[in-house]
């Protein structure tokens, strides 16, 4: 017999056997635990309801088998006012500073220096245009989902209106969890295109500093010649490598908070041609990312080692404490956590868009650091709508619609960390 056949099992022998095993008193080892453990099954041994054909009628108590889902990458979602519909972004290219015309250009003041002449004035109204470049964000993606809500056909499956309400609350939570996971995967789309785009750029000798092989950097800094992507967690390597990596991340964040031309795609000076701007005076696009504006997402197997070996003693006094720091269990596939295969679209050197000619494949992406404006999603035209009640079928449908934009801005700072 078995308790799963809706029988009552005498459990005294089980209890005595378990006690004997636990105390070392000896005796026969209990192995037939399946006779006693109630295991959830989809097999219904009472009549099913006529609608869903999944609920049996009138059980004493109903347990709703759903709990809220906690989505990740929440820092990548912005409201539709920031990146909804068609958006333009205005960027300023830095220009060189000028000499001070209140002083002679010659190092030694003479009676008649060449730069100071009678009858001439210093023009304080000379114009110096802003070198403004506009980038544009177009396009969006749409999808919908729905569920059917029945009226009283299911009431026979519950013992009270409260049980029925609890069932529909569980149904609503399942839909909400599903949409949360959809939203989470939308963020993965935006993040993975950014990662793939940076790798594709680096392969084309563009923005090479935006992809860092941490093992190569570690070897160059320490002289280590034995560490690889396969053995970095070995006892011989991990104790030295993980603290170094943690320090390296903080150093990189420190570099990125400085205003510079590094870690982002430069806009070609052709973008200011024909506007009366002296291109010889234009330096380029400067960006800075403070720790509070940074997103630091690390692969879990790396982040967990940092947490275990480094954080307890140093986390109180580092830049990571101020960032949106999150561990990511996988980038694209849960069966290949560090792997990424994507054909990205990215910004090329001329300011236009380019789609990679072939898929970018990377085996060990361990992290990405990027400015909050470099990647994200925005949701707009979101809504839930109900159909009229179907009097004949005694149900109505509830539809969910949304329009979402996954966006990347390669003119903002972003760095991809890999192991090769």
Q: For 319-351, what is each residue's pLDDT tens digit? A: 777 788 999 999 999 999 999 999 999 988 777
Residue 299 inside a domain? The answer is: yes
Residues 245, 376 within the same domain: yes
Q: Could you give the angle at which helices 238-256 and 300-309 cross, rounded to 10 degrees?
A: 100
Look up tokens 């031309």; give the residue.
261
Residue 153 inside a domain? The answer is: yes
Residues 112, 227 within the same domain: no
Residues 96, 151 within the same domain: no
Residue 112 inside a domain? The answer is: yes
Compute the residue count for the chain. 420
Residue with the larger pLDDT of the pair 186 and 37: 186
Q: Identify the pLDDT of residue 14.
A: 63
CB atoms within 10 A of CB 35: 16
In this structure, are strands 414-418 and 77-78 parallel, antiparallel, or unpaired? unpaired
Q: For 264-318, what is each residue's pLDDT tens digit? A: 998 877 777 778 888 888 888 999 999 999 999 999 999 999 888 776 555 555 7
What are the DSSP calls for 70-109, one per residue? --S-GGGEE-HHHH-SSEEEEEEEEE-----TTS-SSSS-
Residue 323 inside a domain? The answer is: yes
Residue with the larger pLDDT of the pair 402 and 101: 402
Q: Identify the pLDDT of residue 264.
A: 95
Residue with the larger pLDDT of the pair 50 and 321: 321
Residues 403, 308 within the same domain: yes
Domain extent, residue 184, equals: 141-418
Residue 55 inside a domain? The answer is: no
pLDDT tier, 107 (very low <50, low <70, confident <90, very high otherwise): low
Q: Tell me the sheet residues that pair with 369.
A: 296, 415
Residues 193, 87 within the same domain: no
Residue 228 inside a domain? The answer is: yes
CA neighbor of 62 nearest in space, from 174, 182, 150, 157? 157
pLDDT tier, 250 (very low <50, low <70, confident <90, very high otherwise): very high
Residues 145, 115 within the same domain: no
Among the three residues 97, 119, 134, which one is the final residue of a domain in this structure? Answer: 134
Residues 85, 203 within the same domain: no
Residues 159, 127 within the same domain: no
Q: Cα dist. 280→93, 131, 268, 273, 274 in Å?
A: 12, 12, 13, 11, 13
Residues 87, 194 within the same domain: no
Residue 180 inside a domain? The answer is: yes
| Residue 412 to residue 104: CA distance in whole angstroms | 40
Residues 106, 12 within the same domain: no
Count of CA atoms in the C-beta half-sphere (13 A) of 373: 14
Residues 125, 194 within the same domain: no
| Residue 132 to residue 379: CA distance in whole angstroms | 28
pTM for the complete prediction?
0.79
Q: Could you give the angle at which helices 214-222 and 238-256 cross, rounded to 10 degrees?
A: 110
Q: How many domains does the chain have?
A: 3
Residue with the larger pLDDT of the pair 358 and 149: 358
Residues 17, 94 within the same domain: no
Residue 169 inside a domain? The answer is: yes
């Amino acid at each position: 017999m078995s308790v799963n056949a809706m029988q009552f099992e005498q459990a005294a022998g089980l209890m005595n056997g378990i006690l004997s095993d636990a105390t070392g008193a000896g005796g026969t080892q209990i192995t037939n635990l399946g006779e006693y453990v109630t295991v959830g099954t989809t097999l219904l041994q009472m009549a099913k309801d006529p609608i869903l054909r999944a609920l049996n009628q009138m059980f004493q108590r109903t347990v709703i088998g759903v709990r809220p889902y906690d989505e990740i990458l929440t820092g990548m979602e912005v409201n539709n006012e920031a990146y909804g519909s068609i958006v333009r972004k205005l960027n300023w290219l830095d220009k060189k500073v000028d000499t001070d015309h209140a002083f002679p250009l010659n190092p030694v003041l003479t009676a008649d220096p060449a730069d100071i002449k009678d009858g001439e004035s210093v023009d304080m109204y000379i114009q110096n245009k802003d070198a403004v470049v506009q980038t544009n964000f177009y396009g969006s993606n749409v999808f919908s989902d729905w569920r059917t809500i029945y009226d009283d056909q299911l009431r026979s499956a519950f013992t009270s209106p409260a049980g029925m309400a609890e069932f529909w609350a569980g149904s609503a939570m399942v839909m909400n969890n599903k949409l949360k996971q959809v939203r989470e995967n939308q963020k993965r789309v935006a993040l993975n295109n950014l990662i793939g785009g940076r790798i594709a750029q680096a392969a084309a000798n563009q923005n090479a500093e935006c992809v860092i092989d941490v093992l190569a950097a570690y070897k160059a800094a320490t002289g280590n010649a034995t560490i690889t992507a396969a053995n970095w967690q070995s006892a011989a390597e991990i104790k030295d490598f993980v603290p170094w990596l943690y320090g390296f991340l903080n150093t990189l964040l420190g570099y990125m908070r400085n205003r510079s031309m590094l870690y982002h795609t430069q806009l070609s000076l052709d973008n200011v041609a024909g506007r009366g701007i002296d291109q010889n005076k234009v330096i380029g696009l400067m960006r800075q990312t403070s720790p509070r504006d940074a997103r630091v997402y690390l692969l879990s197997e790396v982040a967990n080692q940092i947490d275990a070996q480094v954080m307890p003693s140093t986390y109180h006094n580092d830049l990571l404490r101020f960032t949106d720091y999150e561990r990511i269990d996988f980038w694209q596939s849960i069966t290949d956590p560090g792997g990424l295969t994507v054909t990205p679209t990215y910004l090329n050197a001329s300011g236009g868009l380019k789609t990679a000619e072939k898929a970018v494949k990377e085996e060990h992406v361990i992290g990405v650091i990027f400015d909050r404006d470099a990647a994200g999603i925005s949701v707009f035209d979101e809504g839930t709508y109900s159909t009229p009640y179907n009097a004949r079928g005694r149900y109505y449908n509830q539809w969910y619609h949304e329009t979402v934009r996954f966006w990347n801005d390669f003119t903002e700072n972003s760095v991809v960390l890999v192991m090769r």
